[in-house]
Amino acid sequence: MTVTKEQRITIESVKTKLIDSFVLYGAIIALIAFLIPQIPFRLENLDLFNYIDLTVILSVFTLYYFRKKVSLFFKGGFILLAVYLFFVADLYQHGLNSTVRTVFVLIPFLGILVFNVRWAVLLFFISILTYIIIAYGYLAGYLSPGLLGAELNTPTKWITHGIVLSLVSMIIAMFVHIFNKSLIQIIKQQDESYRVLKQQDLELKQNIEEKNVLLQEIHHRVKNNLAVVSGLLDLQSGLATDEFSRSALKLSTNRILSISKVHELIYQSEDVSRIHLKKYIRELADIIIESFNKARRDIDVKLDINIHYLNVNHGVPIGIILNELITNSLKHGFNEIQDSYQIQISAFEEEEHYKIVYQDNGSGVTDQKPDKLTGLGATLVDSLLTQIEAESKLINTGMYQLSFRFPKEIS
C-alpha cells in the first residue's frame, strides 16, 4: 500500500496536533480561571487588565477556529505571546497571590516545542527578567502590595518562588527537548523506511511493466501465428472440391479465429490477465456472421453483458463455445425463412459464479434436424463446459436456448 504525503507522520504534523490541542484546552482553562474570580460577574467590575485577559482568551478561541489556515510558527508565537501577557498581567496585579503565575513554566515548554532551544532560552530569560522587574516593583513600593500582604512581599518569598518556577520550567523544557529529539529520530527512521519502500515499489512496478510488455508481445506473436494458420485453412477451403470439406475447414478457421481474438484483445489491453467480454463477443459474432451468413439475412445480435471483464482462463473456452453456438444458429436455426432472425447473448454474475445465456429465435431442434449442435460441435461444447466446471441447461423446443453457469475461479 502506498503511503501518501498526508498520511505520513512528520515532526510538523505532531507539533501541530499538540499545539492545536493546547490552544483549545488552554483557552477553556484560561476562560474558567478568568470567570471564577469575577463571580458574581458584573461588567462594571472589570478593569483594564481584565479586558486585556478577556481579549487574549477570545483571540485564542478565534485562533483555534482558524487553526487549519494558520501556520505552526504563527500559532506557536501567538500562544507564547498570550501566555506571556497572561502571566505578566496577573503577576503585575496580584504579585505572589497570582493564581496563574504557574503558566510561567509553559513559556520555555512552548519555546522548545514550536521553535528551538535558543529561542526557548531567550524567552525564558525575558520571562525571568520580567519576573524580577515586577518583584522589584513590589519590594521597592512602586507597586501597591494590596492584598499581597507583608508576609509574601519579602525578597525571600520572591526569590523562592522564582527559583521554584525556574527549576520546574527547566525540567519541563528538558523533557520536551528529549521528546523532540526522540520524535525527530523516529520520524527520520520512518522517512528512511518510506524511501526504501518507495524505491522497492518503483522497482516492482518497473518489473511488472516489463513482464506485461513481454506477455503482450507473446500474445501478439501467438495471435499472428494463429492468423497464419487460419489463413492457410481459409486457402485450403477454397481448394476443397465439395461443400462438406469447405464447411468443415471454415468451421476450423472460425474456431482458431475465436482463440486468436482472445490473444488480440489481450495484447491491446493494459491488463494481460483479462479480456473485455462485451467487445470480444461483439467482434466474434461479426466474424462468424460474415463467414456463414451466405443468404445475407439481417441477423440482429442483442448483447446484455453485465460482466465487464473475463479471466483469460475463461476467455478461450467461452469464445469457442459461443463460436459453436452462433455457427449452429446460422447453419441450422436460421435455415428457414422467418420474419426476423435474432440472437441474444446475456452474461451476468450469480454470487461466486458467472452465468451466460445464449438464445436464438430459430426453429430449434426437431427429429428431422438431429444434427443441430451434434457431432464434433456438440462434443467440443460439452468438453469445454466440463473444462470450466459449468452447469448447463438446454431448451430446444420451438427455439434454442443454452444457459450455463460456471465458477469465477477454476479449481
CATH class of 274-411: alpha beta
Cα–chain-centroid distance for residue 296?
A: 52
pLDDT band at 227 (very low <50, low <70, confident <90, very high): confident
357 pLDDT higher than 90: yes
What is the SS3 assignment for 82-149? Answer: HHHHHHHHHHHHHHHHCCCHHHHHHHHHHHHHHCCHHHHHHHHHHHHHHHHHHHHHHHCCCCCCHHHC
Beta bridge partners of 357: 346, 403
Tell me what pLDDT residue 367 has: 40
pLDDT per position as a tens digit, 279-291: 888 888 888 888 7
- Which segment, 21-25, 193-197, 341-345, 362-366, is predicted with the most confidence on average? 341-345
pTM to 2 decimal places = 0.50
Say what the pLDDT of residue 268 is.
67
pLDDT at 369 over 70: no
Task: Identify the band that residue 271 occupies on the pLDDT scale cut at 50, 70 and 90.
Answer: low
User: Is the pLDDT reported for residue 366 higher than 60?
Assistant: no
Residue 199 has pLDDT above 60, yes or no: yes
Residue type, 300: D
Spatial distance between the Cα atoms of 275 and 268, rounded to a whole number of angstroms: 10
Is the pLDDT assigned to residue 147 strictly greater than 60? no
Residue 384: its pLDDT value, please? 87
**What is the model's pLDDT at position 266?**
67
Q: What average pLDDT does the segment 187-205 reach? A: 84
Distance of alpha carbon 308 from alpha carbon 324, whole angstroms: 22
Whether 270 has a pLDDT exceeding 70, the answer reads no
Q: Which residues pair with 304 in a beta bridge?
A: 346
Task: Say what angle helices 155-239 and 117-139 make with each other, to 10 degrees.
Answer: 160
In this prediction, residue 252 carries a pLDDT of 78
Question: Tens of pLDDT along 45-89?
Answer: 777 777 777 888 888 888 888 888 888 888 888 888 888 887 888
Task: Identify whether the C-beta of residue 236 lies closer than 8 Å to the C-beta of residue 249.
Answer: yes
Per-residue pLDDT at 372: 42
Q: Are 383 and 394 within 8 A, CB to CB?
A: no
Between 165 and 38, the more confident residue is: 165
* Domain locations in the chain as residue ranges: 11-201, 274-411
